[in-house]
Amino acid sequence: MKKFFVVQHSYAEFLGPIEKQLESRGIGFQYLRPFLGHDLPTSAPQHDALWLLGGPYPITETEACPWLPQEYRLMEYFRKVGRPTVGIGFGGLLVARLAGGEAHEEPYFNAYWTTARKTAAGAQDPLAAAVDGREVLVMYNGRVDLPQGLDPILTDDDGRWLAVRPDATSYGVLFRPEMKPGMIEDMIMEDNRPLPDHIGDLLQQARERWPAMQQTTAQIALALVTALDLMTERRKMPVFSLNPAEPKES
């Protein structure tokens, strides 16, 4: 069975409707929750892909996110073995940072609706084609300036990057295909979570646009499956028992 690791950075943010998209394709997933103090593994020989979800802080907030060195090491492992990585929001910034981008704390809040636009760099990219011209919800904190030579495959109405593909096996996106209105409600209820002043407006707009959001999520999931070959189960290391059973006496 195909299995994905999913790094979760807050209670409120999970795979949302993407869970159903993966389950319908026979893909299992395991959540990792470093924000609860759980250590992240340094390798993942039994997992086929890595997903990095959204979070409440910029990736420069090392005090609030002390696990980030572990997360970068896990990302490096997936890159080294050539297995797919998908970063969303906070996770998208991590992908861009690992590719050589420069992280900044400001602007602290980036939360808005926009129309995604395919760029020349994304002309042949399945994800860029799937999202081009669609309205998407963008939510992330801080920013990462892309390194020279890494061009975005999607931009927003103002030309800011929305998606990058640093290599054949990884994507970093700042729009939120996993988002649903209930998730935004959970963010509002989460203790001590920093939120933009217009979060209530974003929630109302998400409720109004929910049918279109679901259609966009389905298109994005299909594009990622195609682009990253997510239906292929990667070769896994054999699992050996550390306590083999003693042979029975005849």
Distances (CA, A) of 8 to 16, 90, 99: 12, 10, 21
Find out whether the peptide bond into 58 is cis, omega within 30 degrees of 0.
no
**What average pLDDT does this structure show over 74-80?**
96
Residue 28 lies in a domain: yes
| pLDDT tens sequence across 165-220 | 999 999 999 999 999 999 999 999 999 999 999 999 999 999 999 999 999 999 99
Residue 43 corresponds to which tokens in the numbers above? 């390798």
Element spanning 5, H or E: strand 2-7
Per the domain annotation, does 135 fall within a domain? yes
Tell me if 185 is assigned to some domain.
yes
Q: Is residue 240 part of a domain?
A: no
Q: Is residue 154 part of a domain?
A: yes
Residue 102, C-beta contacts closer than 8 angstroms, at least 6 positions apart: 144, 145, 147
pLDDT at 238 over 60: no
In this structure, is residue 97 part of a structural domain?
yes
What's the rounded mean pLDDT across residues 150-154?
98
This prediction has a pTM of 0.92
In a domain, 241, yes or no: no
Residue 65 sits in which domain range?
2-228
Cβ within 8 Å of residue 189, ≥6 positions away: 12
- 105 within 8 A of 145, measured Cβ to Cβ: no
Provide the domain count of the chain: 1
Give yes or no for a contact between 223 and 130, defined as CB atoms under 8 angstroms apart: yes
Residues 38-67: tens digit of each pLDDT: 999 999 888 999 999 999 999 999 999 999
CATH assignment at residue 7: 3.40.50.880
> Is the model's pLDDT at 242 over the cut of 70?
no
Domain membership flag for residue 238: no
Higher pLDDT, 232 or 236: 232
Mean pLDDT across the chain: 93
